[in-house]
Amino acid sequence: MTSAATLSRSSALQAAQRVDLNKNIGTELRGVKLLSLSDDEIAEVKQLLAERGVLVFRDQPMTLAQQIELGRRFGKLHVHPAFAHKEHPEALRIHADADSSYAAGEAWHTDVSCDLEPPGISMLRIEVVPSGGGETAFASMYKAFEDLSKPIQDLLLGLEAIHTGDLPYRGTYKSTSKKEYPVNVHPVIRTHPLTGKRALYVNTGFTDKIKGVRGRESKALLQMLFDHIAYGVEFQCRVHWEPQTLTMWDNRCTQHYASWDYFPETRSGWRVTTVGERPFLAL
Ligand code: SIN
């Protein structure tokens, strides 16, 4: 028997035109109005996002309040430990212009992996786009893990890494705040709770050290993994932004890199992010 919920779920997303950005990661869904989705359709978007890593939705005009409400439908919202907006703590301003000394996210990373329960889904809506560039590159951490040779996979399955907020917030972004930023230990390979698939979970943004090994061993191992991610063009895609494009990514199985190639032009938008679960590895 087919329930009404099943019918409505299949109609909205099945009617969408799907264009894959890369065989391994990223799908643009055309014809979906995010603000009109039913609960069943939200669940379906979450599942597809866990499988594809990145979903791009064009022409999604909405206010920040509506974006925050949309985010809430995907889970409990994340408050950024360093840059929470004063008026809208559940939103992160993403903005760079002629006066900026940096643009957020200009290195391969997954969002705020220093948290004990790091972000699950991020949804970024860009309102002002530069005349060219300002794209975001994404990489599949499922495929990054899968493409490693078996002996390296076996080694990584037994390791944990230390992720620290000081690395980006004091290091890259030169914060002088007295605040203590989170430091947490996560498995180097994590299992995605919705797909059951394994994903590589170390990143140049936050991962400081592999736990329990010598400093030079940690440095060499991390550099090998960071290079593997950065050079892995066969498991990367790029999102080109238009005004009111909303892109969602699943931080549990992807990394991203925001290209700041448009200085001194302006690029501006808002990110709303859900809290994920504590990373785990199912053996
Ligand atoms: C980020 O969330 O890291 C920023 C991504 C972007 O600006 O494209």
Residues 6+ apart with CB under 8 A from 195: 50, 51, 142, 253
Residues 6+ apart with CB under 8 A from 235: 22, 24, 25, 139, 140, 143, 144, 147
Better pLDDT: 174 or 132: 132
Is residue 271 within 6 Å of ligand 1 at its C-beta? yes
Whether the CB-CB separation of 173 and 82 falls below 8 Å is answered with yes
CA distance 282 to 263: 44
Q: What is the pLDDT of residue 10?
A: 58
CA distance 36 to 39: 10
Q: What is the pLDDT of residue 174?
A: 82
What is the mean pLDDT of the segment spanning 175-180? 86
* Residue nearest ligand 1's atom 3 by CA: 105
CA distance 271 to 88: 11
What is the atom index within ligand 1 of the atom nearest the CA of 103? 7
Whether the CB-CB separation of 268 and 127 falls below 8 Å is answered with yes
Whether the CB-CB separation of 119 and 109 falls below 8 Å is answered with no
What digits encode the pLDDT tens for the residues 138-172?
999 999 999 999 999 999 999 999 999 989 888 88
What digits encode the pLDDT tens for the residues 19-57?
999 999 999 999 999 999 999 999 999 999 999 999 999
- Return the percent helix, strand and coil in the chain, to nearest 5: 30, 30, 45
**CA torsion, points 109, 210, 282, 146, in degrees to nearest 10?**
60
User: pTM here?
Assistant: 0.94
Give me the CATH code for the 11-275 domain, please: 3.60.130.10
The residue ranges of every structural domain in the chain are: 11-275
* Residue nearest ligand 1's atom 4 by CA: 105
Catalytic residues: 109, 111, 256, 271
Is residue 124 within 6 Å of ligand 1 at its C-beta? yes
Distance between Cα 259 and ligand 1 center (Å): 9
Q: Which amino acid is at 42?
A: I
Residue 268 has pLDDT above 90, yes or no: yes
* Residue among 19, 131, 123 nearest 62 (CA): 123
* Residue nearest ligand 1's atom 2 by CA: 105
* Residue among 168, 196, 199 nearest 181 (CA): 168
* Residue nearest ligand 1's atom 7 by CA: 258
Is residue 136 within 6 Å of ligand 1 at its C-beta? yes
